[in-house]
Structure 1
C-alpha cells in the first residue's frame, strides 16, 4: 500500500497519495541575507527575501507575512493576490509595500520607507504556497554624525601650566559614537576625557567629549568621532598658540614701561654725575689759581681733559 508522507519542520520533502500515485515535492526554502541590512535614518530600506517558485505557481496560492521576530507584530501581509493590512502594526501604515511585479518570480522582499530608529531589529519573512518556510532578516539603522567642532575654554590669557578644557561636539548620529583624542605628539589622551551621549526625540545622538589639559604652547589637540556601522569618521583639532597665550599683553606692557623707567633713571643719574664732575673741576681751578697754560704743561689737566675742553 501507499504510505502517506507529510511535511514536518525538520524535513525537506513531503508526499501525499493521489489515487494510487504518490506525489512528491521538496519543501520550500527561502533565501535571506546572512548579514544585517544597514539602512540610513530617514531613507528607504529593502529587506530581501525570496524563494524559487514551481513552474505552475499562481499568486493566488501565495501567503506572505512580514512580522517582527520578537513581538510577532504584523508589518505587512499578503494573500489571495492582495495586501492584507487590517492587523498591521502601529507605525507601519503607509510605510510598507512589496515588489508586486516580481512576486510571481519569487521575490517577496519588503520595502520599508522612511526608516526610523525604532525600526531597528529582526524581521521574519514567512512564506506559504503548498509548503511554508520562514527566515529572519536583521535591520541595522545608522545615521552619520555632523562634522565635529572643538573649542578651548578659556580661550585667552592662558599661561603655561594653566588648566584648560578642550570640548569636542558632534550631533544627529546613530548608533553611539566612539570618541578618540590625541595630541600633536601622537599621545593617546582618550583615558583623560569625559564623554556624554544623549539621544533626542528621534533617537539620534548628540555627543560631547571634554578633555582636560595643562597648557603647553604649540601643542595641537585632535578629536576623532567614529561611527563604526557606517565606518565614518569626523576630525577636528585646536592648537594652543605660543607667545600670545604664554605671555599676556598686560604683562608685556608692564615690562616695557618698567624698561623705559629704568633707562630714564639711568639717563638722569648720568647727567647729575656729569654736572657734579664739572662743578668739582671748577672749584679745584679756582683754589689753585693756576693759569691754563701751566695746568696743561704741568700735567694737571685732569678735569679739562676729562671734560674735553
Structure 2
C-alpha cells in the first residue's frame, strides 16, 4: 500500500514544487543525473520564453542528442503524441502541460531501466524559432548485494562474491597483518577478478586473493561509480564458517511457511468447531462466522496496527502514515505536520493547493500525496533520515473548511508518531590474543548502542556455554553519532567462541565464530609436529614396556637364543684360527 500511495502521489507532488522552484532556475547544459533502477528520474528544465506560449503553434521534442534517433516524448500543437515516441520509453514518461506556458519543460521518466544508462537527451522547442535547451545525460545504477567472503584455509585464498549490481564496480581488497595496526590495500596484480553479465543486465562479481599465515583478516570493498556507494565485508582468515547454500535457505523458508500456514488453518478450524457447537446448543447468532471474520481480520491487520513507533534507517526514507476520518475536496483541506516539543513544521498544505513554509532542517525532505487527500490520507514521506531525527515525536493537525474558509471540523494532534532511527552494524571482527588467551570482538558504524553476547564450546562438551564474564565497552563517534563496540572474553579451555552483536531497535543481529586451536594459542606448526612425534614415541615405548612386563618369558627365551648363537660363532672362529696356524707350520717345514 505504501508503494501504491507513493506512485500515485509522486508526479502530483512535483507539480507543487515546480510552481515554487522552477522560476528560480536557469536552463543548464550537459547536466548529469544519477538514478537507481526502478526509481523516478526528474529532468528539470525551465526555458525563458521570449514570447507568450501558443499551444497550437508550438512543437516540443524531448529527444536524443546529436545523431541519436531516440524520441523520449513529443508535444505537438496542443497535445502529446505517443505514436512517434521510441518504444523503450512507452508508458514511462510524463510532462506537465499546464506548466508549459510558464516555461516548465520538465520531464519525468518512471521507472528508470538499466537500458536508459548513458542516455544523452535535449529539449527542442519549436515555435516562431527553433531552440535547443536543457541537455542532460542519465546514468543508471543498481545496488550490489553485500559481498560474501569465503576462506579456503588449504589453498590460503579468500574469495569475495556479490551480484545484482550495475554498472561494473571497482573492487578493492585490504588485509590486516598480525603485526600491523593499520590495513594494507592490496595492489591490482594481487587481485584476480571475474565479471559476468547476467540476463537482466546486472553483473555477477567474483574476486580472489591469496594470503599468508601472518594475515589476520581480509576485507572486500565493492564501489559503485554511478551511485557512489560502497558495500563491504570483512572476514577473519582463521575461521571461515561454512556458507549456507541457496538450496538450504529455500528449504528453511518453505518449512517456516508450511508451519505458519498450518497454525493459521488450525486456529480457523478450532474457532469454527467451537462456535458451531455453541450454535447447536441454542444460540441463533452465527458466531462462527463472526469469529472467523474476526480471526481473519486479526491475522491480516495485526502487522498494520503496530504503527508506532516508526522505525527508520539512516540515509533511507520512511512513511509516516495518517488517515483521518473525512472525505473532502483538497481545496477545502488545510493541515500541517509539526514536532511535538517545538514549533518546527515538517510539512504544510494550504487549501489553495500550495505548500507553506517549513523548518529549514525539513526542507526538500518531506512529501505528501495530494491525490489521496480526498479520502483523508494525509500521510507524509520523510527522506534522507539522519541521527537528528531520532526520538522525535510528530503529529498532524488538520481543518475542514467551508466555502467561506471557516473551519467546520478540526483534528488536533492526530497520528502522533515517534521516530526511532537505526543504523546497521558492520563486522564483527574477532581478534585472538595468544599471550592472554582472550578473543576480542569489534563492530562499528551502528546505532543505537548494541547488545553483545558470547557463546563458546568446551573441549570436553558439545553443549554451547553462555560466557558471562566479557568486558564490553562502547564509544560514540561525535561526528556521525554511530557506535563502535569492543568486547573481550577469556577462551581458556574452549575450542571455539561466537560473538553476537544485536541492534536492540531493529532486532537485527550479526555474529562471527572462531576456533581456538593449538596454533591460535601460540604453538607453531613445527612445534605441533614435534609434540605429536614425541607422543607417538612415548606411546610405543610404553606399549613395549607393558608387553615385556606381562610376557617376560618371551624376552628371556629370545635372549638365550642370542647368547647361544654368539657362543657358537666364537667357537667356529677359534677353530678357523687353529687350522690356519697348522697350515702355515706345514708350509714352513716343506720349504726347509
Q: 1:139 to 1:258 in 2, by over 3 A?
A: same
Bigger Rg, structure 1 or 2:
1
- The residue that corresponds to 2:536 in the other structure is 258
Report the equivalent of 1:243.
517
Shift of 1:183: 0.9
Q: Which has the higher contact order (CA 8 A, sep 6+)?
A: 1
Whole-Å separation in 1 of the counterparts to 2:130 and 2:147: 50
The corresponding residue for 1:119 is 116
Residue 423 of structure 2 corresponds to residue 145 of structure 1? no
Q: Is the 8 A contact 1:196 1:208 kept in 2?
A: yes
Asked if 1:78 corresponds to 2:75, the answer is: yes
- Give the superposition deviation at 1:254: 5.5
Tell me how large the CA RMSD over aligned residues is: 3.3
1:58: how far off? 3.0
Aligned mates of 1:49, 1:230 — CA distance in 2: 22
How many equivalent pairs are there?
234
Distance 1:230 1:92 in 2: 23
Give the whole-Å Cα distance in 2 for the aligned partners of 1:178 and 1:37. 20
Cα distance in structure 2, aligned partners of 1:252 and 1:237? 34
Deviation at 1:38, TM superposition (A): 0.8
Maintained 8 Å contact 1:125/1:137: no
The residue aligned with 1:189 is 186
Of 167, 175, 184 in structure 1, the residue corresponding to residue 159 of structure 2 is 167
Distance in 1 of aligned mates of 2:171 and 2:36: 21
CA distance in structure 1 between the aligned counterparts of 2:87 and 2:192, rounded to whole angstroms? 39
In the alignment, which residue of structure 2 is the partner of 1:203? Answer: 201
TM-score by length of 2: 0.36
Q: 2:93 aligns with which of 87, 91, 96?
A: 96
Partners of 1:240 and 1:255 in 2: CA distance = 28
Runs of 5+ unmatched residues, structure 2: 1-25, 178-182, 239-515, 551-592
In the superposition, the TM-score normalised over structure 1's length comes to: 0.66
User: How far does the alpha carbon of each residue in 1:82-134 deviate from its partner, in whole angstroms, 9 at most, with x for none?
Assistant: 10122211211111121223222111112111111221220121112222211
Q: Does 1:62 align with 2:58?
A: yes
Decide whether the 8 Å contact of 1:149 with 1:236 is kept in 2.
yes
How far is the alpha carbon of 1:236 from its aligned partner?
A: 1.2
Q: How far did residue 73 of structure 1 move?
A: 2.5
The superposition leaves residues 161-187 of structure 1 with CA deviations (integer Å, 9 ceiling, x where unpaired) of: xx3221101111111101011210323
Q: Distance in 1 between matches of 2:534 and 2:145?
A: 47
Label 1:125 to 1:221 Cα distance change in 2 as closer, same or farther (>3 A): same
Distance 1:92 1:152 in 2: 45
Give the counterpart of 2:230 among 226, 230, 233.
233
In structure 2, relative to structure 1, the CA distance for the partners of 1:178 and 1:244 (3 Å cut) is farther
Correspondence for 1:40: 36
Q: Deviations over 1:172-231 (max 9, x none)?
A: 111110101121032322321111122222221111111123x41662111111112222
- Secondary structure at the aligned position of 2:61 is classed as strand
Secondary structure in 2 matching 1:123: strand
Counterpart for residue 358 of structure 2 = none
SS in 2 for 1:91: helix
| Cα distance in 1, alignment partners of residues 231 and 534 from structure 2 | 45
Structure 1 residues 252 and 133, CA gap change in structure 2 (3 angstroms): farther
Counterpart CA distance in 1 for 2:215 and 2:190 is 20
Alignment check: 8 A CA contact 2:52 2:101 kept = no
Q: What SS is found at the alignment partner of 2:536?
A: helix
CA 1:140–1:90: 2 relative to 1, 3 Å? same
Instruction: State the distance in 2 between where 1:216 and 1:252 align.
Output: 20
Distance 2:31 2:547 in 1: 89
CA distance in 1 between partners of 2:547 and 2:71 (Å): 100
